Amino acid sequence: MNRQAQSSQAGKRKNILIAGLPTGFINGLLGSGGGSYLVPQLTRRLKLEQQKAHATSLIIIMPTTLLSLAVYLFKQPLPWSMLLYTIAGGCIGGLAGAKLLTKVPGLWLGLVFGIILLISGCRMAWAGFFG
Amino acid sequence: MIVFIGSILAGVITGMGMGGGILLVPLLVFFTDTSQLGAQGLCLAFSIPTSALAAWSLYRQKKLEIACAKKLVPWTLCGALPGALLASWLSSSVLQGLFGVFLVFLGGREVYSFWQKKGGKK
């Protein structure tokens, strides 16, 4: 039943470190995507079930994001007016998404999401390194 | 307008815990004149209220593991500081390239896991 109790204290600490440090680093370096690394770590290493891992990753990302943002603000002012649009859209979508999370399996959504990521990723890498 | 629609989509994906903020950065970089670091910063600022909303909704569904989160947060903070410093030090185009490579990796992983799950069902 309680699989966490079986693993040793040292193993647990190592797992937390491997799950936590890169999450923060990715979040800081790329501004997003820490959660994409964190969720599978939470399910595999810390044995959370999928939905709990998703939910828990959200609250772990919040303070991490605040710190990254604070560092960014020293170098780069934010486009505030655009931020208002994105937050308005994001809040509407976020509420819908959290409700859908418990109802939709997300398999096909994952495929569509993956293909969009592949295409935009190739374009960005190309523009960044060769553009 | 395209930014607004994209944000709703990104919000849905964020709410489902798939890191929808990651869609916002290419959207902003390609369709507006936002710089790479500006887009990433905006994405960070965007994810705070949207995650808070999603987390609140999931909290009421009793899906949060607060104890686990408390253990992890100090480590994510330790990682975030050098990451963010590096981001503000790197040139915009190198950062964009790195971001692209990371997107390709994530996209490949999504597609791969789709094949795996699809194959497992047959």
| DSSP character at residue A116 | H
Neighbours of B121 (CB within 10 A): 7
CA dihedral A46, A49, A102, B4 (to 10 degrees): 20
pLDDT exceeds cutoff 70 at A129 = yes
- Given this model, what pLDDT does residue B19 score? 63
For residue B100, give the nearest of A28, A64, A124 by CB distance. A124
Span A48-72, pLDDT tens digits: 888 888 889 888 999 999 999 999 9
- Is there a contact between A123 and B30 (Cβ–Cβ < 8 Å)? yes
What is the C-alpha to C-alpha distance for residues A48 and A97, in angstroms, rounded to an integer? 20
Q: What average pLDDT score do residues B27-35 get?
A: 85
- Given this model, what pLDDT does residue B95 score? 93
Distance between A81 CA and the closest CA of chain B, angstroms: 11
- Given this model, what pLDDT does residue B122 score? 46
Span A6-36, pLDDT tens digits: 556 777 888 899 999 999 999 999 988 788 8
Q: Is residue A18 less than 8 Å (CB to CB) from chain B?
A: no
The 10 Å CB-count burial string (b at 16+, else e) for A103-128 is: eeebeebbbebbebbbebbebbbebb
What is the C-alpha to C-alpha distance for residues B95 and A92, in angstroms, rounded to an integer? 30
What is the C-alpha to C-alpha distance for residues A8 and A14, in angstroms, rounded to an integer? 10
Span B32-45, pLDDT tens digits: 888 899 889 988 88
Q: What average pLDDT score do residues B77-96 get?
A: 93
Q: What average pLDDT score do residues B82-87 get?
A: 93
Instruction: Answer whether A72 sits within 8 Å of B40, measured CB to CB.
Output: yes
pLDDT exceeds cutoff 90 at A125 = yes
Instruction: Answer whether B15 sits within 8 Å of A93, measured CB to CB.
Output: yes
Instruction: Answer whether B44 sits within 8 Å of A119, measured CB to CB.
Output: no
To the nearest whole number, what is the mean pLDDT of chain B? 84
Cβ–Cβ pairs < 8 A, chains A and B: 403
- Across A1-10, B34-43, B71-80, B103-112, least confident range: A1-10
To the nearest whole number, what is the mean pLDDT of chain A? 83
For residue B114, give the nearest of A55, A63, A107 by CB distance. A107
Residue with the bigger pLDDT between A72 and A97: it is A72
pLDDT exceeds cutoff 60 at B96 = yes
What ipTM describes this predicted complex? 0.84
- Is there a contact between B119 and A119 (Cβ–Cβ < 8 Å)? no
The shares of helix, strand and coil residues in chain B, as percent rounded to the nearest 5, are 85, 0, 15
A71's CB contacts (< 8 A; 6+ apart) are A28, B80, B81, B84, B85, B87, B88
- Is there a contact between B55 and B65 (Cβ–Cβ < 8 Å)? no
- Across A120-129, B10-19, B33-42, B54-63, least confident range: B10-19
- Is there a contact between A73 and B41 (Cβ–Cβ < 8 Å)? yes
Half-sphere exposure for A28 (CA within 13 Å, toward CB): 28
Which one-letter amino acid corresponds to residue B79?
Answer: G
